[in-house]
Amino acid sequence: MFKTLKAVLLGAVAMLVAAPASQAGILVAQCLSDATCTLAPPTPWSDSLSTANLTSLGLGTSQPLVAAQTNLGLIRLGVTTIDFTTPTGAVIETLPEFSGPDHNPCNFCEIDTVGTFSIPANAVLATISGFFGNSAAPSSAAVDVCLGAGVPCDPAAVPEPSSLALLGAALAGLGVTCRRRKTR
């Protein structure tokens, strides 16, 4: 009985270790093809991030702001600001304007790290905001903007090979506990 319990616990711990810290970004803004943001003067956007969102990204970590171009043209992003709410007061960070090269045709043809934001370890909420369009051009190509790397802004993102190996070892360890005992 003790060996079975030990195998189950070791398998569970190995699966937790195998889980990647953050394999997904959070979509914070989206400029769709033929929307106002692709045609008109700079278009503002903003999104609120909950404690759960910030925790999933990793409190006390630095996370990239990723722009994934989804249609032809040039990515143009204005200044991007994130305002963290913490128990000790506001923490505000800003990234400069961003311009990408021209692509025609395009479907996730360009995935850029615009910059990084440092998430305070004690952050409880955040508001991130910016503009589609900048001082170089008043509009942008269709683009998904994510905080954090991986899906949905990088559809090709896959788990790290070391994580898959650990997960395989964990499942093998759990398989030992699933054997049926012979009855006498």
Q: In this structure, are 65 and 14 located in the same domain?
A: no
Specify the 3-state DSSP secondary structure of 171: helix
**Does residue 33 share a domain with residue 101?**
yes
| 64 C-beta neighbours (distance < 10 Å), count | 18
Q: Give 84-133 pLDDT, tens digit per residue.
A: 999 999 999 999 999 988 766 666 778 889 999 999 999 999 999 999 99
Tell me how many domains the chain contains. 2
The residue range of the domain holding 15 is: 1-20+159-179
Main-chain dihedrals φ then ψ at residue 75, nearest 5 degrees: -75, 130
* CATH number of the domain to which 57 belongs: 2.60.120
| pLDDT, mean over the chain | 79
Q: Give the least confident one: 31-35, 80-84, 163-167.
A: 163-167
pLDDT for the residue 72: 83
Instruction: Tell me the pTM.
Output: 0.72
Q: Is residue 50, in this structure, part of any structural domain at all? A: yes
Range name among 16-30, 48-62, 116-130 with the lowest pLDDT average: 16-30
**41: how many CB neighbours lie within 10 A of its CB?**
11
- Count the neighbouring beta carbons within 10 Å of the beta carbon of residue 183: 4
How far CA 54 is from CA of 17, 31, 49, 80, 148, in Å, comes to 20, 23, 7, 17, 10
Q: Is the pLDDT of residue 9 over 50?
A: no
Report d(CA 96, CA 55) in Å as an integer: 25
Same domain? For 148 and 79 the reply is yes
| Percentage, residues of the chain above pLDDT 90 | 54
**Does residue 107 form part of some domain?**
yes
Residue 184 included in any domain: no
Strands 143-147 and 62-69: antiparallel
5 within domain boundaries? yes
Position 28 confidence tier, pLDDT thresholds 50, 70, 90: very high
Per-residue pLDDT band at 166 (split at 50, 70, 90): very low
Q: What is the widest separation between alpha-carbon atoms in the chain?
A: 81
Rounded to 10 degrees, the C-alpha dihedral 169/171/177/179 comes to -110
Can you give the pLDDT at residue 147?
97
143 and 167 in a single domain? The answer is no
